[in-house]
Amino acid sequence: MFRFLNTSGCYSLSKRLQTAIELVLGGLLLLVAGQLLPTLMAGPINWAVAFGLYMMIAGLVVIYWPQGALGWANRVTLVRAVLVALVAGGLAAGTFTQVIWQWLLIAVLALLLDGVDGWVARRTQSHSVFGARFDMELDALLIMLLCIGLLLESMAPWVLLIGGMRYLFVIAGYRLSWLLAPLLPSLRRKIVCVWQVSALLLALTPLTSPLLTGLLAISALLSLIMSFGADVKWLYQQT
């Protein structure tokens, strides 16, 4: 019995080590990508924010993914995590307004990869609850970072509601447990998410007028309220 327990423990440790190695490779990718973007990652604060966020994501992956190798779908999502970390780093140290186009390009790449990991999961038959949650939380984080970008571009603080609504929903779930029940897959939810990110990206371009920027942000907020409202109504009806 003790031999079995020891073997099981070693096996679990080996799987965690496999995960950690892949996450270290992701960190190296972040380092290389950042070196290729010297104007975006211009100072130590930019690097600290980017690597701090990536380390937080990596720590959560190690905790919640006990399966060893990440698999191709989760590896694509990990690349998205690297891009999101670069987006976060670009917001720091007052360099944001000077590198807006480069910053937007990284954010667009992160958005484009959003559909790739799902396609890879279907092609490789590697769907997982963890993979879906990993993807969803990165979407939420990217949206919040885009909202912070708009705030730095002098938009009113209400824009943070767009990125914060997901987190407020989760916090509310600790008081109202029925909010944490699983939701059915929803095309509407995916469309709203894509529109949110697209509208925020368009609002952030220097070519967009202040009026259009405000309208795009409001449309993102209203579509999000509609989507969350539909989900809350459905969850309440299941209680």
Least Cα distance to 41 among 78, 84, 81, 88 occurs for 88
pTM for the structure as a whole: 0.89
Domain carrying residue 234: 155-239
Strand stretches in 10-146, DSSP E? none
pLDDT value at residue 227: 93
- Please state the φ and ψ torsions of residue 85, each to the nearest 5 degrees: -65, -40
Q: Cα 1 to the chain's mean position, in Å?
A: 43
The model's confidence at residue 2, banded by pLDDT at 50, 70 and 90, is: very low
Q: Which of 117, 150, 183 is the last residue of a domain?
A: 150
**What gap in Å lies between CA 105 and CA 168, rounded to an integer?**
29
100 with 189, same domain: the answer is no
Quote the number of domains for the chain.
Answer: 2
**Statement to judge: residues 47 and 114 lie in one domain:** yes
- Which of 94, 116, 150 is the endpoint of a domain? 150
Q: For residue 8, is pLDDT > 80? A: no
Answer with the residue of higher pLDDT: 13 or 228.
Answer: 228
Residues 94-122: what's their mean pLDDT? 86
Number of H helices, E strands in the chain: 8, 0
Alpha-carbon distance 214 to 89, whole Å? 25
Average pLDDT of span 4-26: 71
The pLDDT of 157-177, averaged and rounded, is 92
Domain ends where: 128, 150, 172? Answer: 150
**The pLDDT value given to residue 95:** 67
18 and 87 co-located in one domain: yes
With vertex at residue 28, the alpha carbon angle to CA 10 and CA 99, rounded to the nearest 5 degrees, is 145
